[in-house]
Amino acid sequence: MRGFLLSAVFAVMLSLPAFATPPSVVLVQFHYFERTITVTRGAGKTETIPTLSPASKNNVANAEQLQALFAKLYEEGYALQATAASGAGNTSVEVVSYVFVKP
């Protein structure tokens, strides 16, 4: 009887699909000169948010807007995984990318 029960449990375990799913990833890009924030959650799930003020005039408002977005992502269970910056010249930064992952 014990062998039959273990065999039945083993057969059920093999027939179930794996529960491991790939992590959910969100890419946030702050476009400094274009004055936009792009949030991509996957194909066809991209939104562009205009920043509150011109990038060179009021960095405080833009920082607060990014902080609110990041807080929302943390509430959804995402954690910051990586950042990268790219620029056009030696000192100017055009795009800062943030990668958030939810395990």
Tens digits of per-residue pLDDT, 37-63?
Answer: 999 998 899 999 988 766 556 678 888
Identify whether 26 is part of a domain: yes
Identify whether 51 is part of a domain: yes
pLDDT for the residue 6: 57
Tokens at 74, concatenated:
């943390």
Identify whether 6 is part of a domain: no
Identify whether 2 is part of a domain: no
Residue 4 confidence (pLDDT) above 70: no
Identify whether 12 is part of a domain: no
Identify whether 54 is part of a domain: yes
Identify whether 8 is part of a domain: no
Residue 66 confidence (pLDDT) above 70: yes
CB within 8 Å of 24: residues ≥ 6 apart? 41, 78, 101, 102
DSSP state at residue 21: -
Q: Which domain holds residue 38?
A: 21-102
